[in-house]
Amino acid sequence: MLSLRHEPMDDFFFGQTTTDYDHLELTLNDSYLPHFISEDDNAIRQGIDWFKERITRDQYRDQRNKDYESYLSCKSGDDDYSIENRIQAQETKNVTTNEEYYTFKSSKLDEKCSIGHFQLRNLLWATNKNNIYYVCGDTVRQWSPQRKKSTQVIDLATANRPGSVSLKITSMACAHGILFAGGFKGECVWKVVQDTSNISNQFNTTNESRSIGITNYTDIVKDKAGVTLGIVSNNDATIKCINLETAQIEQKFSLPFAANCSSLSPDSRMLCLVGDSTETLIVDADNGKSVVSINEHHDFSFACCWNPDGRTFATGNQDRTTRVYDIRNTSKAMYVLGSNVGAIRSLHYSHDGQYLAAAEPIDFVHLYETKHYESSQVIDMFGDIAGVSFTPEDQSLYIANANDKLG
């Protein structure tokens, strides 16, 4: 797990002398790396001693980029190059990549993060600077950077007592004091974070007319009346809003495709929906009626989010782009932002709306300034990205790395 801080690195060095941190004796096996390590020192950031490797970091980066094959759902076969050709022909915005909005703070290499399904990468939530929730196998754990320790919050690996349930975790959210997780067969479980019991509530959202009902994405929101809802984007082509107090479905919207992600607008009036389609749908959050349909992507989408400004929203697709739209005119994307090697599988605006984090499946997280999307910071690491999360005050950004050795 990687932590970055939204402050100038000079602040960390102020008042420090060499002897102040010489005694730390950092080695390859140190699991906690202090925040005053230089961001340029990639060897220390992930515990890789490149002087002992047979190739340089740049050589390994070039080879890894060349070897990675980006998955496309709409490709009909190995000999079908039509989608790749359309993707190559996309015009993406020229964005500078050398900004430093966030500086490297620490790596927690022994906090093992997991991915339940290779296309679903929203498995990390930072509810505040000292409570970071992440998926480890089929458990959810909470890490406290301040105390430098982690604890298990919920265990879904085995049903080991009456009323308990086991499931393979595919999605997870934590907000408003509630932890919510979804599974491969449409299961949903949730609990109050402070509750010491394993599970408070469980619910199966699967439509039995479908053989696969994976819970692709979960979110926790407050509706207009202040009721806490769990919004479930499901592979059975539905969006379900579950009242987490009564465990009842308040609303259910049917879609023409499997729902992979959803995002409620800041005013709670509209839902942005993406899934197993090139389309993006904006629907009325009260009745599910279509507000607008957009069809500019070339493959399936697995990420979407609203800017806190309530006017713009972003979608992430397997065509290796992030597209930013203005709800006042959705005829064409305002910005088309390209990736380095793969799909955009996780998208999150900072809470103040100044930055957009776009995560690829491996190695790269892009941080865009959102005034004109002309500049960015590209976080370059090694590993499968399980999720990204800003803290509520936007001072820190966390990245979950599912690589067994470099997490």
Instruction: Please report the pLDDT score of residue 15 as a whole number.
Output: 28
Determine contact, residues 395/129, Cβ cutoff 8 Å: yes
Instruction: Please report the pLDDT score of residue 6 as a whole number.
Output: 77
The DSSP secondary structure of 198-260, one letter per residue, reads S-SEEEE---TTSS---EEEEEEEE-TTS-EEEEEEETTTEEEEEETTTTEEEEEEE-SS-EE
Record the pTM: 0.88
Tell me whether residue 43 is exposed, middle or buried, using C-beta atoms within 10 angstroms of its C-beta: 0 to 12, 13 to 18, 19 or more.
middle
Instruction: Please report the pLDDT score of residue 197 as a whole number.
Output: 65
- Ranges of residues in the chain with a pLDDT under 50 are 8-44, 206-211
Label residue 359 left, alpha or beta by phi (over 0 means left) and psi (-120 to 50 means alpha). beta
Q: What is the dihedral of CA 79, 83, 85, 89, to 10 degrees?
A: -170
Determine contact, residues 176/220, Cβ cutoff 8 Å: yes
The span from the CA of 200 to the CA of 202, in Å, is 7
Instruction: Please report the pLDDT score of residue 164 as a whole number.
Output: 67
Query: Kind and range of the H or E element at 88?
Result: helix 82-88
The span from the CA of 165 to the CA of 367, in Å, is 38
| Beta pairing partners, 321 | 338
Phi, psi of 203, rounded to the nearest 5 degrees: -155, 140
pLDDT tens for residues 40-97? 444 446 777 888 888 899 999 999 999 999 999 998 888 888 999 999 999 999 999 9
Instruction: Please report the pLDDT score of residue 112 as a whole number.
Output: 84
Q: Burial letters for 97-117: b for 16+ Cβ neighbours within 10 Å, e otherwise?
A: eeeebbbbbbbbbebbbbbbb
Instruction: Please report the pLDDT score of residue 118 as a whole number.
Output: 96
pLDDT tens for residues 170-202? 999 999 999 999 999 898 999 998 876 665 666
The whole-chain average pLDDT of the chain stands at: 85
| Beta pairing partners, 328 | none
